[in-house]
């Protein structure tokens, strides 16, 4: 953005009113199939009914040709739905069975539900199309923000849960993921269909600093590993963290309320050092990691007339930086994009956030099932230095009986001086034999691959076009995309590697955003790079290995990426209590953006002073780090993907003290015992677009107490987890929504609608199950698909009627898409105290030939019921 924030003038649509006959709209209408087109002098509005709940709106200026790009995101063609159109002189009303769209004569659009309840309305303020702009954003659409909370937009490290009024830049970075989909507690969502860099709630005011400072740009000595390999991570860390670029001023607000802030820093590349904004000593923005974006968000309640001291520090930046804000009555939701000559967005309606997200996945694609192994434990570190070291640790995991399904090889397995998917035979003399031994150990292997190739022979061999000014593959070229997959398959999949870790998919390394790709300047499609990389890998692998489900890990994401068998992780975080707490919020907003699978580096990537984190000395003995690792590990056990990782670290759980190893074993065991619950919930993701990890507001949007909760989450539909995010904290305040709740550890029953203080010893984290739930649990196993004759335990949490669908398939192939699965439908009646069991859909298991043993346990009852289900409907008196 060349004009960071122009605060004076915005060009709005000028609409000239013309006379028309009574009862007819003032402007010409054209209806065809699923669309209504309205020509308003200089503005053309195109409204398309995708289905009864999804409306596609496009606005363009007359005489300006709309730039055409491939639609990388949406997959739903307009459905054959009934709709009606009525006109008055000042308004056009378009009605489906679910929503009513009102187009006013000033060009604004309003949305209501079928009962006439107002859901959303556009605003003329901050709405514009400037196709020839060379100074700032080109297109912008504002909406009125009402009494609501807003979630989604991707993954950010600001600790912000509710995005209402908060400014943020939607741009892909290491640690930050831009997904332009927003969900409201009022029952709607907005998908902003623009692939360029986008400002959300672009701030309208600036705090001026009278004192200017000279920015220090001296070259500091860089860390280089002793083995001589120049690792990109170390190259960005200086040996000294010199505090500099510190400015102060005062600010006296004119209104009382919550102010939202955005700091702009370093416009020519990533900064390193610290950026901090404090108001009267309170941290509003505080980043200290190596990989840092250029814009940072925060918020604080301020009193009118009170003078506050504001301190701004951006050590390591190339510019002094600027601080912007929105006032408490901003009350707009605004998407503004750098590139484009038309406004393009989708309105999505649902009765609650779950329905809105489901509708969005209907629009952008459903998430396929992962293999059952993907829901187990992942052993990962940076990195195993050779084949012998990786196999030694894999064997020891099994010898120590630590359950695990995946082991991961991070970077620098390639030949020295290159970067690309090629094995260094000096370090990995026989990669296939390595994979074969892992298979014998019932472990899968994932390997890190970048779409950034610094290996001329590979580039020539596979005829890979590179985006100019970078080393990144031009993934927008369909031929290059297929050949990129072929390169990976030849070097990885054909050796038996199960999954690819697609690192660096932002991609930040394209320095010239005007560099040409196969579909035009990179700046036009900037944010979709990861989407296209994952598409190439998913489509290629599904075609070549149709009996193996795709799982890829990626550092970035975009709307629609859920359909390509990918999970995103939160990037190169540092080990700190602050950043740990931010991961919870980051992950919850990521899943609320419509992409259900997310994970993080348990323990943080940069862990101690040896891994470029000065907060802790040796990670293996520092008691505070070990406690942080313990709490982070507990969080990881209740995330969609459960994975430990760390830079310059030996992350195996036995490397730390005995107390940590015991706690880690406890939560790994619990993860595998919950596998029937987790895998059945994964089926609900694929079948019904539900979530495995979600904030409380996902389930209780009308309860305002849930709107800002940052340290609790739902794991599946029934399990609520509280996370401890402070050092030496041994009690935790937990909000229990309406209804009764059971303490998972003790069985104690508590009444909801209140905040309770519960014990939180270091070896546990608060876990509650809502009354009226059924939780299926399996035995302790060493890997997800380990054969066992032990029964499944059906835990019934009474107090309300309950139902659960237990799902089973072959755990690996896509045959479930052909109906090759089985459902066992469990229903509990609170009135009769009976559990009914019957077949659901699918016939993968013939229960008459292969009966299933169950133990039914009602929480609070001493008696257990052991039974065998053999395909005949059964009622168990409890």
Residue 363: φ, ψ to 5°: -75, -40
Band of the pLDDT at 9, cuts 50, 70, 90? very low
Q: What is the pLDDT at residue 291?
A: 79
* pLDDT > 60? residue 819: yes
Task: Determine the straight-line distance between the first and last CA of the chain, rounded to whole angstroms.
Answer: 65
Q: Tell me the pLDDT tens digit for each residue of 117-164.
A: 999 999 999 999 998 777 789 999 999 999 999 999 999 999 999 999
Residue 361 and residue 76: Cα distance in Å, rounded? 9
- The beta strands (E) that lie in 737-877 are given as 740-743, 749-751, 754-759, 767-770, 773-777, 792-797, 802-808, 822-829, 834-839, 852-858, 864-869, 874-877
Q: What is the pLDDT at residue 853?
A: 97
Residue 791 and residue 12: Cα distance in Å, rounded? 66
How buried is residue 11: exposed, middle or buried, by Cβ count under 10 Å (0-12/13-18/19+)? exposed
Query: Residue 808 in contact with residue 767, Cβ under 8 Å?
Result: no
The candidate with the shortest Cα–Cα distance to 463, out of 481, 476, 450, 451, is 481
Range 457-475 average pLDDT: 96
Query: Residue 90 in contact with residue 26, Cβ under 8 Å?
Result: yes
Sheet hosting strand 205-207, strand order edge to edge? 205-207, 322-326, 257-264, 295-302
Tokens found for residue 163 = 């995005």
Strands 91-95 and 84-87: antiparallel
Query: Residue 361 in contact with residue 594, Cβ under 8 Å?
Result: yes
Tokens found for residue 385 = 């230095």
Q: Tell me the pLDDT tens digit for each residue of 303-350.
A: 999 999 999 998 877 778 899 999 999 999 999 999 999 999 999 999
Residue 267 and residue 320: Cα distance in Å, rounded? 10
Residue 811 and residue 822: Cα distance in Å, rounded? 12
Tokens found for residue 683 = 């089926």
Local structure of residue 76 (DSSP, 8 states): P
Residue 415 and residue 426: Cα distance in Å, rounded? 8
Residue 79 and residue 261: Cα distance in Å, rounded? 42
Q: Is 49 left (phi over 0), alpha (psi -120 to 50) or beta?
A: beta
Round the CA-based radius of gyration of the chain to a whole number and report it.
27
865, β-bridge pairs: 856
Tokens found for residue 717 = 């539909």
Q: Tell me the pLDDT tens digit for each residue of 238-258.
A: 444 446 788 999 999 999 999
Separation in Å, CA 696 to CA 212, 691, 701, 729: 44, 12, 8, 22
* pLDDT > 80? residue 401: yes
The DSSP secondary structure of 636-689, one letter per residue, reads: HTTSSSEEE--BT----GGGS-HHHHHHHHHHHHHHHHTHHHHHHHHHHHHHH-
Which helix or strand (DSSP H or E) is residue 481 part of?
helix 478-491
- Helices 623-636 and 577-592, axial angle in degrees (round to 10): 10
Q: Tell me the pLDDT tens digit for each residue of 201-241.
A: 999 999 999 765 555 554 444 444 545 455 556 555 544 44
* pLDDT > 90? residue 107: yes
Query: Residue 876 in contact with residue 835, Cβ under 8 Å?
Result: yes
Residue 695 and residue 162: Cα distance in Å, rounded? 11
Range 432-448 average pLDDT: 98
Percent of the chain with pLDDT over 90: 86
Q: What is the pLDDT at residue 5?
A: 27
Place of tokens 């009267």: 280
Q: Map residue 550 onto helix, strand or coil.
A: coil
335, β-bridge pairs: 141, 200
Q: What is the pLDDT at residue 728?
A: 98
* pLDDT > 50? residue 426: yes
Virtual torsion, Cα 112, 115, 116, 120, nearest 10 deg: -20
* pLDDT > 80? residue 866: yes
């Amino acid at each position: 953005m060349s004009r960071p924030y122009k605060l004076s003038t915005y060009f709005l649509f000028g609409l000239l009113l013309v006379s028309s006959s009574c009862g007819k709209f003032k402007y010409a209408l054209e209806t065809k199939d699923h669309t209504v087109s309205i020509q308003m002098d200089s503005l053309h509005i195109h409204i398309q009914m995708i289905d009864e709940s999804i409306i596609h709106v496009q606005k363009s200026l007359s005489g300006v040709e709309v730039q055409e790009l491939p639609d990388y995101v949406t997959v739903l063609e307009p459905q054959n739905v009934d709709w009606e159109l009525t006109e008055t002189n000042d308004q056009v009303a378009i009605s489906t069975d679910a929503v009513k769209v009102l187009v006013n004569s000033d060009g604004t659009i309003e949305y209501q539900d079928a009962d006439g309840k107002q859901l959303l309305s556009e605003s003329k303020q901050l709405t514009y199309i400037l196709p020839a702009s060379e100074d700032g954003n080109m297109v912008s659409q504002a909406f009125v923000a009402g009494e609501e909370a807003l979630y989604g937009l991707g993954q950010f490290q600001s600790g912000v849960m509710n995005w209402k009024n908060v400014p943020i830049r939607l741009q892909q970075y290491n640690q930050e993921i831009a997904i332009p989909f927003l969900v409201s507690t009022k029952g709607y969502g907005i998908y902003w269909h623009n692939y360029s860099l986008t400002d959300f709630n672009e701030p309208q005011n600036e705090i001026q600093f009278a004192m200017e400072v000279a920015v220090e740009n001296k070259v500091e000595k860089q860390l280089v590993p002793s083995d001589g390999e120049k690792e990109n991570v170390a190259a960005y860390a200086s040996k000294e963290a010199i505090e500099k670029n510190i400015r102060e001023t005062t600010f006296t607000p004119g209104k009382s309320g919550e102010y939202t802030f955005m700091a702009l820093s370093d416009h020519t590349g990533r900064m390193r050092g610290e950026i901090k904004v404090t108001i009267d000593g309170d941290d509003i923005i505080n980043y200290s990691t190596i990989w840092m974006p250029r814009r940072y968000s925060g918020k604080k309640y301020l009193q009118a007339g009170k003078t506050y001291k504001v301190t701004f520090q951006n050590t390591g930046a190339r510019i002094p930086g600027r601080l912007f804000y929105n006032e408490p009555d901003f009350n707009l939701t605004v998407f503004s994009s750098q590139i484009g000559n038309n406004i393009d967005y989708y309105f999505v309606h649902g009765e609650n956030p779950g329905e809105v997200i489901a509708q969005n996945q209907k629009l952008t694609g459903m998430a396929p099932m992962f293999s059952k192994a993907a829901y187990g434990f992942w052993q990962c570190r940076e990195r195993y230095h050779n084949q012998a070291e990786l196999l030694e640790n894999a064997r020891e995991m099994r010898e120590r009986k630590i359950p695990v399904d995946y082991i991961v090889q991070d970077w620098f397995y390639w030949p020295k001086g290159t970067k690309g998917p090629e094995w260094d035979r000096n370090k990995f003399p026989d990669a296939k034999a390595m994979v074969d031994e892992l298979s014998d150990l019932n472990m899968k292997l994932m390997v890190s691959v970048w779409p950034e190739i610094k290996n001329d022979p590979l580039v020539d061999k596979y005829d890979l076009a590179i985006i100019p000014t970078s080393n990144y593959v031009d993934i927008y070229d369909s031929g290059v995309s297929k050949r990129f997959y072929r390169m990976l398959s030849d070097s990885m999949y054909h050796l038996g590697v199960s999954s690819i870790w697609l690192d660096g998919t932002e991609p930040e390394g394209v320095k010239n955003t005007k560099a040409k790709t196969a579909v035009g300047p990179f700046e036009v499609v900037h944010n979709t790079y990861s989407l296209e990389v994952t598409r190439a890998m998913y489509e290629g692998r599904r075609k070549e290995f149709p009996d193996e489900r795709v799982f890829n890990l990626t550092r970035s994401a975009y709307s629609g990426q859920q359909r390509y068998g990918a999970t995103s992780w939160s990037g190169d975080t540092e080990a700190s209590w602050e950043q740990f707490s931010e991961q919870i919020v980051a992950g919850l907003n990521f899943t609320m953006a419509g992409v259900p699978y997310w994970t993080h580096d348990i323990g943080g990537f940069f862990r101690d002073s040896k891994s470029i984190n000065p907060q802790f000395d040796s990670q293996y003995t520092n008691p505070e780090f070990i406690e942080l690792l313990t709490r982070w590990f507990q969080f990881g056990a209740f995330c969609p993907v459960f994975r430990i990782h760390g830079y310059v670290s030996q992350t195996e759980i036995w490397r730390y003290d005995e107390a940590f190893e015991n706690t880690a074993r406890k939560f790994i065991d619990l993860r595998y015992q919950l596998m029937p619950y987790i895998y059945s919930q994964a089926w609900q993701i694929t079948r019904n677009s539900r979530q495995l990890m979600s904030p409380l507001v996902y389930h209780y949007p009308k309860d305002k107490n849930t709107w800002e909760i940052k340290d609790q989450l739902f794991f599946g539909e029934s399990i609520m987890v509280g996370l401890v995010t402070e050092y030496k904290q041994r009690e935790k305040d937990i909000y229990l929504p309406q209804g009764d709740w059971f303490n998972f550890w003790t069985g104690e029953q508590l009444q909801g609608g209140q905040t309770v203080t519960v014990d939180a010893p270091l070896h546990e984290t608060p876990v509650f199950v809502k009354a009226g739930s059924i939780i299926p649990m399996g035995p302790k196993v060493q890997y997800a698909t380990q054969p066992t004759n032990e029964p499944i335990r059906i835990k019934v949490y009474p107090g309300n009627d309950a139902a659960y669908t237990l799902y089973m398939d072959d755990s690996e192939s896509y045959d479930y898409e052909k109906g090759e699965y089985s459902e066992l439908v469990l229903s509990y009646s609170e009135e009769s105290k009976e559990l009914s069991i019957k077949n659901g859909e699918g016939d993968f298991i013939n229960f008459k030939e292969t009966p299933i043993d169950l133990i039914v346990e009602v929480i609070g009852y001493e008696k257990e019921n052991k039974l065998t289900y053999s395909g005949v409907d059964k009622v168990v008196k409890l």
